[in-house]
Structure 1
Amino acid sequence: MSSYIEAVKVIYSLVKEAKGADEKKLQKAEGIIKRIDGLAEEAYLLIAEAYQTTNNADLELEDNIHSQFVFINNFDDYEDEETEKEENRQKEALKMSRLDPSGFTETNKDLHVCAGKIVKRAKDIFKAEPVMAHVWSYRWGGYNMISCDLSSLDQKISMPITISAVERQMLEYFDEPDVFDMAEALHIVGIVTQALDAKIKIGLGRNEVNPAVLSSPLKEGETNGKIYLWKN
């Protein structure tokens, strides 16, 4: 319901700016919106008074109630914080490369510079050695990540790269760049691996713990194995 009320407030403010809008109807709508806000505050005060009479032994419920009281009492601060987060997110989104389904790209210049630094470092490390890129994804802390582990074919030389899709672009550390989303992460992986003519392997295919998809049953003492790949 609150989301609906907020949407009504937004459309009210927009229509108010429109030329020729019926002022009387807008004033009536404004009065209703104010009454809704007042009723919400009145309801909150009644709920708070009702809580004073409770004698609750459920600690989890108590924690949830207290958390909600704190949230409401600091609602304006939380709202300002969320607004700031959304504004920052929109600014960061402007830095994304344009990656259309047509296959045409408009690569962010800073992202391209970062990819160039990765390629230069890799060429310094691997020299004339052929490069293998082991690319695999995972989730950490609520975000999506891609590992692009560069190595020589005999794996004696390695250069791990971790790309985090965290809704922002931070490219200062080229071996651990932050990009906006997984499409951007895969885009920089593609640039780097093509520049190095790397042999690419995607996914792990090992360390699987679900017995329903293993290539063979786990032996005693084993905790993981290879995933079944329809080769047998």
Structure 2
Amino acid sequence: MNTEKKTALVTGGSRGLGKNMALNLAKKGIDVVITYNSKKEDAEAVVSEIKQMGRKAAALQLNTGDAKSFDRFFNQLKAVLTEEFQTEKFDFLINNAGIGIHATFAQTTEEQFDSLMQIHLKGPYFLTQKALALMNDGGGIVNISSGLARFCNPGYSAYGTMKGGIEVLTRYQAMELGSRGIRVNAVAPGAIETDFGGGIVRDNTQVNRMVASSTALGRVGLPNDIGSVVAFLCTEDAKWINAQRIEVSGGANL
């Protein structure tokens, strides 16, 4: 087993699921770089929390919907890895950053569709492509999908379509990157109590109860339900899990 220190990059790590993923990775002894789009103070608070756990951490600004900014981002990441982490490459990429847009199929605009595609599909596609030069062999990629790629809720046709694309991409990446020993899996959360989508699952009692009633384990998901699974996939215990879609939903809509 390789005992060298590992480093993970988590996009959208300043809050919600990404924050929980970053903290769980740190608990596993993995150093973490998180990205944030606009919430710099939140990101710095996560970095501080990780450092208090005895791990190295840093935060960098990134808009995953702007593929033209990726070269600049990776130049910044390379400098941070060298100066603050004393390493040249990282091991795990968690494609988590995202937004939620709720609109019926009939009312979804081209602008909404394009925004979701750029952030949830095109962004992860080319971010991962450009990350390969900075990734160690034998590492891993975790793409965050959604239960909405399996079951359907009105208003998420565009979002679910992008997540379906991510799941197909995951299998192609696993096949093509296997020669480097890089494992690629997709984690598909069910409905979670976060501020995602305006916090509707967390703050709307009726929605919360509806989700819980259609979930076999009888409750809505919490961030730690997801972050711990993502962290597990970045450990030696998950070394033979590859090209899988792992739904973490408590048994939703069975």
Q: TM-score range by the shorter chain?
A: under 0.3
Structure of higher RCO (CA pairs closer than 8 Å, 6+ residues apart): 2
Question: Which has the larger Rg?
Answer: 1
TM-score norm. by structure 1 comes to 0.23
